[in-house]
């Protein structure tokens, strides 16, 4: 069973800058999608599944979030745009962060509905 089948929250495409810290490494990256449960990060050399990482990212102009996450799966594809890791949030999300993520999810749902009428 793939990791996608285990998701309980819908992930939506969203790209923003994100930093992650694993052991002593500090890496700048980009997200590809996000949900209330986790996200996918582009990473040229992602840590192995089971590794814990600290994520630092801005979800709104003036709000920077710090969240602990666990690497659930890794794609070391030869295609650069697919190389990265799926992470699951393991620290509790603040109410503000949950609200910001839900705004992104709702925005994508509205766009999907709008495209359906085209």
- Cα 85 to Cα 20: distance, rounded to the nearest angstrom: 12
Token duo for residue 58: 């801005």
Looking at residue 48, what is its pLDDT? 95
pTM (2 d.p.):
0.80
Q: What is the average per-residue pLDDT within 43-66?
A: 88
Contact 37, 8 (CB under 8 A): yes
pLDDT in tens, 13-29: 888 889 999 998 899 99
pLDDT at 83 over 70: yes
Confidence tier at 76 by pLDDT (50, 70, 90): confident
* pLDDT above 70 for 118: no
Extents of the domains making up the chain: 3-116
CATH entry 2.40.10.220 includes domain 3-116:
yes
Q: Is 50 exceeded by the pLDDT of residue 45? A: yes
Question: What's the mean per-residue pLDDT of the chain?
Answer: 83
Nearest to 67 by CA among 43, 44, 42, 35: 35
């Amino acid at each position: 069973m793939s990791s996608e089948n285990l998701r309980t929250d819908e992930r939506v495409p969203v790209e923003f800058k994100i930093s992650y810290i694993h052991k002593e490494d500090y890496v700048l990256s980009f997200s590809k999608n996000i949900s209330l449960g986790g996200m996918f990060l582009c990473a040229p050399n992602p840590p192995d599944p089971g590794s814990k990482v600290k994520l630092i990212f801005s979800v709104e102009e003036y709000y920077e979030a710090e969240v602990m996450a666990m690497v659930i799966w890794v794609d070391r594809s030869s295609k650069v745009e697919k190389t990265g890791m799926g992470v699951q949030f393991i620290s509790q999300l603040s109410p503000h962060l949950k609200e910001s993520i839900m705004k992104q999810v709702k925005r994508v749902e509205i766009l999907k509905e709008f495209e359906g009428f085209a």
